[in-house]
């Protein structure tokens, strides 16, 4: 079991820090399709740089560990209880080593266990089979994309697409709608797994199972193969693009599975995964516990260092938005000059704040003067050295919309001038930005290594009792790049892209599959 535990540790570290070859190729294809100088091209260049840095530093690609999920097939006679214990020890060790963020919290108290262990965490599912080896697959699927999963019960009415019936064409409409409703909030461009049939839980299970297929495989079911091809060809016409900035690529992969159902129910379940598609697998020798083979590694690899060189040449002439350097703290005048589409490069101090802090600040004072300051929606991976000094291991943005009920009020209460996050915010925040003089900046979701590199020092921390991801970290940054997507003049790029993609969705209303 010692060797098996070591193998599981290797699998966890590799999954968290290095994207598999099939995913890398899909991202490189998207990058090649994007027009030089656009916001989408800039986002994809940042993503490529981030993948490269994660490779080099053996650090998490994204700060959001998600819910580690293991799917294991074992020959008869293998001790599953001992395997489970070994996996839990490997997870705790990887968390201690800064390869995973402590991400398991008590659902009722919110208390973080600190080691990624908890009731039902990690998820470990066993299945017996006739083969003589162990097959272990692991997926780290973050919250931003998990929250964009969706389930349809057919027949139903779909925004933009009308009636979706209980047939292949109805399924087609559900899948297109699933891509539309995710917008950029799940860190697009994404991959989707679709489960047709089952009950509600089996449908989602089947949808997630599809995420373990290789991006390049071909569905053996001819009808589903055609549907997968159709979705890949047409979903990108919605124009949502990387991070929802608009652009040529919205979807990187679509895999569809089917199972029987009962006559009364017809579910189509969709599991959405971000570009940071961290899933790997290994073949294990049941006698020794050693890794015999890594999965998803066939075919050509992408050298992102070379891709970046090419991008640098092409990006030398930006065609969209202005480029503005900001020094924090900010004045109202500075902020009111910013317009949607501007690319900002920030120097100075910013303060992280997520769900717990936003809720807390509604009824309490802030521990520091936030007047003119920048709040960063981020739950970083942090490590403390032997001298008690904190180091940032990964620090990309988290989904901002969760703070919608609080954000506007908090900005006005404390005089905050800018909020950085991903996926955009709603009408209440947009109104507050206009009234108060504030701006929303969209950072590149999942680019946790890129942003960690922009953080030059950790100047302090408050609310550590909320757990590492929820604490307020005081970070001094240099050249921190983000895009203005909501400004103080009532403009929102998110609103615009949602509206135009809904219009484009309507072109798919007519039946395609009889």
Spatial neighbors of 11 by CB under 8 A, at least 6 apart, are: 136, 138, 280, 281, 282, 291
C-alpha distances (whole Å) from 361 to each of 182, 239, 351, 468, 470 are 29, 37, 13, 18, 13
CB 380 within 8 A of CB 452: yes
Q: How far apart are CA 139 and CA 120, in angstroms?
A: 15
CB of 186 or CB of 424, closer to ligand SF4: 186
Residue whose CB is less far from ligand SF4, 247 or 408: 247
The span from the CA of 205 to the CA of 193, in Å, is 10
* Cβ atoms 457, 319 nearer than 8 A: no
Nearer to ligand SF4, 189 or 472 (CB): 189
- Please state the closest distance from residue 2 (CB atom) to ligand SF4, in A: 31
- Give me the phi and psi of 84, to 5 degrees please: -60, -45
Of the two residues 174 and 381, which places its CB atom closer to ligand SF4 in the complex? Answer: 381
| Least distance from ligand SF4 to the Cβ atom of residue 398, Å | 6
The answer to whether 393 and 347 have CB atoms below 8 angstroms apart is no
Torsion of CA 242, 495, 399, 275, to 10 degrees: -20
- Residue nearer to ligand SF4 on the CB measure, 170 or 396: 396
Nearer to ligand SF4 among residue 66 and residue 102 (C-beta): 66
Nearest distance from C-beta of residue 48 to ligand SF4, angstroms: 14
- Closer by beta carbon to ligand SF4, 7 or else 46: 46
Question: Minimum Å distance from CB 66 to ligand SF4?
Answer: 6
How many other CB atoms sit within 10 Å of the CB of residue 439? 28
Cα–chain-centroid distance for residue 339? Answer: 26
Give 187 or 196: the residue with its C-beta nearer to ligand SF4: 187
Distance between CA atoms of residues 458 and 378, nearest Å: 14
- Judged by beta carbon, residue 66 or residue 469, the one nearer ligand SF4 is 66
Q: What is the smallest separation between the CB atom of 140 and ligand SF4, expressed in angstroms?
A: 8
How far is the C-alpha of 205 from the C-alpha of 71, rounded, in Å?
11
| Rounded CA separation 314/36 (Å) | 6
Rank residues 74 and 276 by Cβ distance to ligand SF4 and give the closer one. Answer: 276
CB of 493 to ligand SF4, least distance (A): 18
3-state secondary structure 296-343: CCCCCCCCHHHHHHHHHHHCCCCCCCCEEEEECCCCHHHHHCCCCCCE
Among residues 104 and 488, whose Cβ is nearest to ligand SF4? 104
Residues that bind ligand SF4 (CB under 6 A): 62, 64, 66, 142-145, 186-187, 274, 276, 396, 445-446
- Tell me how far apart the alpha carbons of residues 429 and 486 are, in angstroms, rounded to a whole number: 9
Residue nearest to ligand SF4 (CB): 142
Closest CA to 452 of 383, 500, 512: 383
- Give the shortest CB-144-to-ligand SF4 separation in angstroms: 3
**What minimum distance in Å lies between the beta carbon of 12 and ligand SF4?**
15
Classify burial at 282, counting beta carbons within 10 Å of its beta carbon; exposed 0-12, middle 13-18, buried 19 or more. buried
Please report how close the Cβ of residue 484 comes to ligand SF4 at its closest, in angstroms.
20
CB of 202 to ligand SF4, least distance (A): 25
Q: Which long-range contacts (CB under 8 A, 24 or more apart) does 314-323 make?
A: 314/36, 314/37, 314/41, 315/36, 315/37, 315/41, 315/42, 315/45, 317/36, 317/37, 318/37, 318/42, 318/343, 319/36, 319/37, 319/38, 320/37, 320/38, 320/39, 321/39, 321/483, 321/484
CB 147 to ligand SF4: min, Å: 9
> Which C-beta is closer to ligand SF4: that of 164 or that of 392?
392
Residues 6+ apart with CB under 8 A from 89: 5
Minimum CB distance to ligand SF4, residue 396 (Å)? 6
């Amino acid at each position: 079991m010692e060797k098996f535990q070591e193998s599981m540790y290797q699998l966890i570290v590799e999954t968290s820090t290095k994207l598999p070859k099939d995913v890398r190729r899909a991202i490189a294809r998207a990058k090649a399709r994007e027009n030089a100088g656009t916001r989408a091209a800039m986002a994809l260049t940042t993503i490529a740089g981030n993948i490269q840095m994660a490779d080099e530093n053996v650090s998490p690609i994204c700060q959001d560990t998600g819910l580690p999920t293991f799917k294991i097939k074992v020959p008869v006679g293998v001790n599953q209880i001992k395997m489970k214990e070994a996996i839990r020890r490997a997870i705790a060790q990887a968390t201690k080593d800064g390869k995973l963020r402590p991400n398991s919290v008590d659902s009722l108290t919110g208390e973080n266990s600190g080691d990624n262990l908890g009731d039902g965490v990690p998820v470990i599912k066993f299945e017996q089979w006739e083969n003589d080896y162990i097959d272990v697959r692991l997926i780290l699927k973050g919250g931003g994309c998990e929250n964009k999963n969706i389930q349809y019960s057919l027949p139903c009415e779909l925004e933009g697409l009308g009636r979706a019936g209980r047939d292949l064409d109805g399924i087609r409409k559900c899948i297109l709608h699933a891509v539309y409703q995710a917008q950029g909030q799940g860190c697009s461009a994404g991959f989707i797994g679709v489960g047709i049939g089952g009950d509600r839980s089996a449908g989602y299970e089947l949808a997630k199972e599809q995420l373990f297929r290789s991006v390049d495989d071909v569905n053996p079911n001819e009808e589903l193969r055609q549907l997968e091809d159709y979705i890949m060809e047409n979903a990108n016409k919605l124009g949502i693009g990387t991070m929802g900035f608009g652009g040529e690529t919205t979807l990187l992969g679509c895999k569809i599975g089917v199972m029987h159902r009962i006559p009364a129910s017809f579910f189509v379940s969709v599991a959405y995964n971000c570009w940071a598609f961290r899933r790997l697998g290994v073949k294990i020798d049941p006698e020794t516990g050693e890794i015999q083979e890594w999965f998803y590694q066939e075919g050509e690899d992408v050298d992102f260092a070379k891709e970046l060189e090419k991008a640098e040449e092409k990006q030398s002439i930006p065609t969209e938005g202005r480029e503005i350097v900001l020094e924090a703290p900010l004045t109202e005048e500075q902020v009111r000059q910013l317009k949607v589409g501007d690319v900002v490069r920030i120097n100075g101090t910013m303060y992280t704040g997520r769900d717990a802090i936003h809720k807390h600040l509604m009824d309490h004072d802030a521990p520091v003067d936030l007047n003119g300051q920048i709040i960063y929606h981020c739950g970083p991976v942090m490590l403390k050295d032997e001298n008690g000094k904190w180091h940032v291991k990964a620090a990309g943005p988290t989904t901002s919309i969760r703070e919608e009920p609080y954000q506007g009020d908090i900005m006005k209460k404390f005089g905050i001038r800018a909020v950085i996050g991903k996926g955009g915010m709603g009408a209440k925040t947009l109104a507050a930005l206009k009234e108060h003089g504030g701006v929303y900046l969209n950072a590149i979701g999942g680019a946790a290594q890129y942003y960690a590199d922009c953080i030059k020092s950790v100047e302090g921390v408050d609310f550590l009792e909320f757990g590492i991801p929820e604490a307020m970290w005081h970070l001094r940054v240099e050249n921190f790049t983000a895009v203005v997507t909501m400004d103080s003049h009532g403009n929102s790029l998110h609103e615009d892209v949602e509206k135009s993609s809904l219009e484009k969705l309507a072109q798919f209303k007519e039946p395609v599959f009889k």
